[in-house]
Amino acid sequence: MILAAANKASFCPVGILNQNFYARDSRLVAFELIGKVLVFKRDGDVLCGRVAETEAYLGSQDPASHAHRGMTPRNCVMFGPAGFSYVYFTYGFHHCLNVVTESEGVAGAVLIRAVEPVRGIELMMKRRGCRDVRSLTSGPGKLTQAFGITVAQSGLDLTADDFHFEEENHEDLKRLGSDCPRWLRIGVSPRVGIREGTKSLFRFFLQDSPFVSVFPKHFREK
């Protein structure tokens, strides 16, 4: 299933995405986050990546969600107000970055699974111990390692100047040598890395992008 979406702003006119953007259905937020730019500033370093892959997670009705069995100490941020970060540690190795969605009291989040490195690539390479740009941030654990994001960044306001998502600026991207399509081709597929809830098409990704994590074989085109 392939959908096309206008690259121009449809909800937030310009700049940093605000709480109203996130306080909606997780699937809609996950879809619209594709193509937006993740910005994380710390210690004078500015890291940017264009979102290439997301997954939506719901509440009690979603067996794959951390919030499936109600509120716990770990997932309580998912029940809070939208537009805050939810970072968790998993498999003893990796951190995963989420954005809280839905209205306050309703659990929901969008997992950021992959971005296209846009700015701060040298620092990302240093942290990842890897020179291949395509491997820097093409996975939820990879991108948090490249950006230096850990559970210390959980529960933060994602409308802040130093940690947010924003509309992509075509002129900035062009100056940095990144591709700037007028239209985004967005693919939809089941979520990956989960045991249940695999029938739901809650994964969204930039079609034809070399910066996505994986491409489910049964959904591969051609």
Partner DNA sequence: TGAATGATCACG
Partner DNA sequence: GTGATCATTCAT
Which residues here bind DNA, judged by CB under 7 A?
55, 57, 64-67, 69-70, 72-75, 78, 86, 88-94, 96, 98, 109, 111, 113, 128, 130, 135, 139-143, 191-195, 213
CB of 110 to DNA, least distance (A): 8
Residue nearer to DNA on the CB measure, 44 or 92 = 92
CB of 187 to DNA, least distance (A): 17
SS3 sequence, 9-51? CCCCCCCECCHHHHCCCHHHHHHHHCCCEEEEEECCEEEEEEE
Closest CA to 84 of 67, 64, 98, 74: 98
Residue nearer to DNA on the CB measure, 21 or 147 = 147
CB of 173 to DNA, least distance (A): 24
CB of 67 to DNA, least distance (A): 6
What Å distances lie between residue 104 and 61, 173, 186, CA to CA? Answer: 17, 34, 28
Residue nearer to DNA on the CB measure, 41 or 128 = 128
